[in-house]
Amino acid sequence: MTAPADTDLWPAPRPNAPVERTISLPGSKSLTNRALVLAALADGPSVVRRPLRSRDTTLMARALASMGVGVEDSGDDWRITPGPLDGDAQVDCGLAGTVMRFLPPVAGLSTGRVSFDGDPHMRNRPVGEVLVALTALGVQVDDGGRGALPFTVVGRGSVPGGTVVIDASASSQFISALLLAGARFEHGVDVRHDGKPVPSLPHIDMTVAMLRRHGVEVDDSGANRWAVAPGPIAAVDHVIEPDLSNAAPFLALAATSGGSVTIRDWPRETTQAGDALREILAQMGCEVAFTDEGLRARGTGRLHGIDVDLHDVGELTPAVAALCALADSPSHLRGVAHIRAHETDRLAALAAELGGLGADVTEHPDGLAFRPAPLHGGVFRTYADHRMAHAGAIVGSAVDGVKVEDIATTSKTFPDFAGFWSALVVP
Ligand SMILES: O=C(O)C1=C[C@@H](OP(=O)(O)O)[C@@H](O)[C@H](O)C1
Ligand SMILES: C=C(OP(=O)(O)O)C(=O)O
């Protein structure tokens, strides 16, 4: 592997005092991209308030606009006007799983040829199950038999729908994708999962909860089965919550600096998987509490290891792994084989990069194990993965001389992460 050019290396700042701050974070990627898709398929115009504006959500908005949806910026909000989905379109998925998986079912409802492609690594991320399911539900998909990007959905203006069995063990997004558009299929959709356990179940619950808010009837009473009744998707305005998964590095900063970080507007009730951070950080030794201002994490000067199954909250693994590498006792992160198919093979990447800084880390097929070891500075590669960059920033807040490669990759889900982080760490 060639060494990254010095200009791509971001010296991660170290605080010279405990960080004591109250901050507001950008909106949730998962909520924003679901709200956009549902608004586009709804029976009237609606507003997505305080959306996340980052690469993943901009790609989603742009793709919907190219398929015929009205997307208008109004100050902080996005005004969405459903339009006839007509005309040929080209969708750039970037590295956004939500764009690559949520939009093919929408494209099936259009009357154009909708072509999908994305970043080089996106061609390796799994989507074949969605394409096979769509074919079974009556949609023409041309993928050259690859089951991967690039592919074209040839819309006929309607989708018969019905019952389909898929293996969603690689990603919960396969199921969310079929449910989000399913009410607009002639017979709705009845999705059954057959395979190893579906990861990230809270994300499917988020999909179901949002569909119900839009007046859609969903039956999720049986295990591994979700049925969406055919019918209109009511237009509903959404106010997007802060992204709780992206809160991970900021709460971690309270732990590494022995300070206290409060996130404003942390919802008391939420469908976001990132809410699990409260419990995880408490187990690792932080004091975590709701205050009048939001959710506060306070570092106690001790950071303990943790033995935890992250199958439901795999996207938290990079930040939690960074904390495990800094902890004073062993850790075991389990149940996350599927994150090898995230933005990069996250288990291999975390083992290589944390190990490169001195961490005593063992890569398992479905997780990582850590034993306490002194860390040192060095280059932390990010593999175009925003959450690898967060992990590098966390370690760099506790260890001198950590340089994070391509910090700009954080733009996937966070506008100007480096500027925001630096202003917080070294005000
Ligand atoms: O539906 C969603 O918004 C997401 C589902 C999860 O995907 P996987 O099930 O592929 O882990 C999660 O990791 C991803 O960041 C966002
Ligand atoms: C897995 C992730 O993203 P995506 O939506 O691209 O799958 C993530 O953000 O951690």
- What residues make up the domain containing 63? 29-239
Identify whether the C-beta of residue 325 lies closer than 8 Å to the C-beta of residue 317. no
Clarify whether residues 229 and 358 are in a common domain. no
Identify whether the C-beta of residue 274 lies closer than 8 Å to the C-beta of residue 248. yes
State residue 10's pLDDT score. 98
CA distance 313 to 349: 18
State residue 200's pLDDT score. 98
Clarify whether residues 207 and 91 are in a common domain. yes
Q: Is the CB of 411 under 6 A from ligand 1?
A: no
CA distance 40 to 50: 17
State residue 7's pLDDT score. 65
| Domain CATH for 219 | 3.65.10.10
State residue 2's pLDDT score. 56
Mean pLDDT by 10 residues, the chain (427 residues): 71 97 98 98 98 98 98 93 94 98 98 97 97 98 97 97 98 98 98 98 98 98 98 98 98 98 98 98 98 97 96 98 98 98 98 98 98 98 98 98 98 98 95
- Regarding beta strands 238-239 and 331-334, do their DSSP bridges make them parallel or antiparallel, or are they unpaired? unpaired
State residue 3's pLDDT score. 59
- If you count them, how many residues does the chain have? 427
Give a yes or no: residue 108 inside a domain.
yes
CA distance 308 to 8: 34
Clarify whether residues 362 and 414 are in a common domain. yes
Q: Measured in angstroms, how far is the CA atom of residue 334 from the centroid of ligand 1?
A: 17
- Residue ending a domain, among 196, 224, 239, is 239
- Enter the ipTM: 0.99
> Is 315 assigned a catalytic role?
yes
CA distance 383 to 67: 31
Ligand 2 atom closest to the Cα of residue 315 is 10
Write down the residue that tokens 């690898």 correspond to.
388
pTM of the predicted model, to two decimals?
A: 0.98
State residue 85's pLDDT score. 95
State residue 240's pLDDT score. 98
Backbone angles phi, psi at 420, to 5 degrees: -65, -45
State residue 331's pLDDT score. 98
Domain count, the chain: 2
Among 20, 186, 293, 315, the active-site one is 315
- Side-by-side strand order, sheet with 360-364: 307-309, 331-334, 367-371, 360-364
Ligand 2 atom closest to the Cα of residue 95 is 6
CA distances from 141 to 185, 198, 234 (A): 16, 24, 28
Q: Measured in angstroms, how far is the CA atom of residue 302 from the centroid of ligand 2?
A: 30
State residue 317's pLDDT score. 98
- Residue ending a domain, among 179, 212, 239, is 239
